[in-house]
Chain A
Amino acid sequence: MTPAQKIIVTCTVNGERRVFNTFPMARLIDILREDASLTGTKEGCGEGECGACSILFNDELVNSCLVPAAHAEGARITTIEGVARGDQLAAIQEAFLEYGGAQCGICTPGMILAAIYLLRKSPNPTEAEIRVGLAGNLCRCTGYSKIFDSVLAACRKSGVL
């Protein structure tokens, strides 16, 4: 079987223009982790269930394990590496630190992006709304309570989300 023709995909990742030469059905998660060496996005299941691979894709939360390269042409992508501004952590990241939202940390990048997406759409969510907003991000360590606490705390903080 002959391999497919590679394609050029031009997109913006964390504000930087990136050009990838890749197969059309390569998974965005692999392009980010391997071609762009942005290993902050994690693979927990490969089937869109765990959300560890969550990123912002044209301002929407998506599972990067389910996005083919061909869809990334012209896309605006934010990964966990694009959340902090240099050494300055985003409010949600600080909240995760202070309120115990991260234990083993493997779900954390996806969880933080999901929280950011939620708070952009709903700056003062109820706990029920937080639960729904994070329902696609599985955590095995925390039992979720301190993740809710972290999100609620981030709401109270002013500044960069």
Chain B
Amino acid sequence: MSEQFPSLFDVEEMELSFGPQHPATHGVLRVQLKLDGEKILDAKPIIGYLHRGTEKLFETMAFPQCIPHTDRMDYLAAATNNQGFCVAMERLLGITIPPRAAYIRMILAELQRLASHLVWLATHAIDIGAITPFFYTFRERDAILDLFEEYCGARLTLNTIKIGGVPFDLPDGWVDRCSALVEGFPAHIDEYEELLTNNRIWKKRTIGIGVVSPEDAIEWGLTGPPLRGSGVEWDIRKVFPYDRYDEVDFVVPTGVNGDTYDRYLVRMEEMRQSCRIIRQCLDRLPDGPHMARAPKVLRAREGMIYGSVEAPKGELGYFIVTTEKSTQPYRCHVRPPSFINLQVLPEMVRGHLVADLVAVIGTLDIVLGEIDR
């Protein structure tokens, strides 16, 4: 036993395996750390514990059958997963969706963004030690999930955005309940901000931690709040608008320093902007069909297509390759934002302490279902 603990002045690296079973790794993530005392010399994320072969399964199923599988990748933001696949498929098949369907999709996607960011806030705060925001955010998230349940029957894996539109029209009274939720939401965001944003300890734990410069962010392929927190104003909803995002008014928040605090502020502001988008969509909800006229059996032409959406975690893209007259994708590759964002973890964490590793994993907002597929 004594040879494990070297003499007083010997600096020996300690190898510590953080995870895969750990309360703070947001799923089955393993980070192999090389420590000098508390300081991290190197961190290597090891993934694959949740690999389910989704991309292989896509090749065996018809296009509409793939949609429930997309739910399970980023299970905290199922609607945007579905939406990404449907945007890519609609581009492939040349389908234009009716305006009502587009607005309903936008509402669902933004509600999903709110739900996903609430989970992010809860887990990030609890990792840094503030245990109370968790309960407040989940109270709001439950209200959102109730809305989803009323709409499509499912709370988490919605499977509710189909190729050509949405499968159901909004139930009676849904619009009013959604409006009520969105009216009261900014007050709740203020509640969370009151606990955290100006708290000295929170600031000490997040300012200057995990800094990514804008050049590095682009070099490492970051998207979503990690990219915007570093100051690059880029949002797929503004740059390649899909589903009539060009008809609604919203601001894309960006940070300044690229540290954890800025990413926190960016996501809080994104929540407010989502409320704004939902309110505009509810006000302007057009009438009409909720599903485009598409053949029952979808057959694609030969080609390669890429379609992406702004998921809460970043740019979620689907690269679909089809052969002539096929009903199944020949290859469907998912570009998961968390997978690419996680690559930069060693750079962000080198030189920091173990306690900061937890803060950085939280700020990257990873979901292992998406990373491992």
A binds B: no
Q: Which residues of A contact B (CB under 8 A)?
A: none
